[in-house]
Amino acid sequence: MLDLASTYAFDSTESFAKASEEKVGAGYVYTRWANPTVDAFEAAVADLEGAQDAEAFASGMAAISTVLLAECSAGDRIVAARQLYGGTFELLSQTLPRYGIQTTFCDVADHASIEDALDGAKLLYCETIGNPRVQVADIPALAKLARAAGVPLLVDNTFASPVLCRPLEHGATASIHSATKFLGGHNDLIGGVVCAEPGVIERMRHIAREFGAVLSPFNAWLALRGIATIHLRVLRASESALLVAQALAEHPGVSAVFYPMLDGDPGRALAERLLGGYGGGMLAFDVAGGKEQAGRFQEELKVVQRAASLGGTRSLIVHAASVTHTQLDAEQLAAAGISEGFCRLSVGIEDPEDLITDLVEALDRAG
């Protein structure tokens, strides 16, 4: 059902006043407070994640910003994995400090450093599969560290999607998504969502209503359409991504390939255990020769498109340092494992042989 109304009429002044006071649960008043289509999307994602409740937002970054502001105040400190989406890294390192919220960054696999940093911290934040180096986080181990420190673990589950991982089942407090990506799946909407227990959601709900970064009904409807095929799309993309990663690993024009299910990848055991033996639809690789060579290679592509975002039906490629992680300086890029020739590839649902042919021929033509 698509309900595009922004405001709702009432039969009586009493029911209008009651609904306006309670905002949620006593009838629909104004779509910034609640909307039937958005509610349906929240319920669907909560069900996918095995969560009690969910709250939807205008974008993935709106979801991340709101949950952090709901859990932190001036004077608090966050511990976060260093391997994060560039926008999230900038939020934590540049924007939140202006409001008195600091962040300590640690390598997601350095559990000793994370444990030390959690002393006196407010929360722990990571991504199930790190953007863009696709490292798999050991969520059960991180959840154990968070519990010992008495803090929540917030996990951005966008790269994995609930098809491959449900972080709440592994001890996370909240699972966050950019609904723009695998949930929506068609590159035609912007949205975000957080799944958690009702207490966490209620704290977020107040901020969402006051700041106004709520999901539009039409985008909620588009995301519901995407959810109908998410299992088919994610599994297809994951199977194709492994084939593509294996082909790229054999090409002399590629100096390194990063994909959790490749033989020898340090994340393979975690992918087997946490992701059901899949590596997801995202992979990354270093083009030998650096930035200029990576640019020549991308310009030769015919099937794979040069575009931001991920998780859709079409395969998209970006040069990470120039597009998704421009917020990081050279030292921070190196610390995150992003080289000058580093490319992030979102594998779609095209024929994997077509993708492999396109990538290999582009590498060959680029020299």
Domain coordinates in residue numbering, the chain = 35-227, 230-365
- On the question of pLDDT at 286 being above 70, the answer is yes
Contact in structure between 144 and 114 (CB atoms under 8 Å): no
Question: Is 32 known to be catalytic?
Answer: yes
- The whole-angstrom separation of Cα 222 and Cα 4 is 12
Q: If DSSP codes are grouped into helix, strand and coil, which group holds residue 270?
A: helix
Confidence of residue 18 (pLDDT cuts 50, 70, 90): confident
157: pLDDT strictly greater than 90: yes
Four-point Cα dihedral 216, 217, 219, 221, nearest 10: 170
By the 8 A CB rule, do 165 and 157 touch? yes
Active site annotation includes 181: yes
Find the catalytic residue in 156, 265, 286, 358: 156
The token pair at 292 is: 């200029």
CA dihedral 92, 95, 99, 102 (to 10 degrees): 30
Active site residue 205: no
Of the listed ranges 33-37, 165-169, 324-328, the one predicted with least confidence: 324-328
CATH code reported for the domain at 35-227: 3.40.640.10
Domains 35-227 and 230-365 share a fold: no
CATH number of 230-365: 3.90.1150.10
Distance CA 327, CA 94 (A): 10
d(Cα 58, Cα 158) in Å, to the nearest integer? 15
Cβ atoms of 231 and 85 closer than 8 Å: no
Q: Is 125 noted as a catalytic residue in this protein? A: no
Contact 118, 79 (CB under 8 A): yes
Active site residue: 82, 122, 181, 205, which one?
181
Considering the candidates 53, 76, 85, 138, report the single residue annotated as catalytic. Answer: 85
Contact criterion met (CB below 8 Å) for 38 and 3: no
% of the chain exceeding 90 in pLDDT? 86
Query: Which of 18, 23, 32, 203 does the annotation list as catalytic?
Result: 32
Residue 312 structure tokens: 């859709």
Residue 212 has pLDDT above 90, yes or no: yes
What is the model's pTM?
0.94
Give the sign of the dihedral formed by CA 14, CA 15, CA 18, CA 21: negative
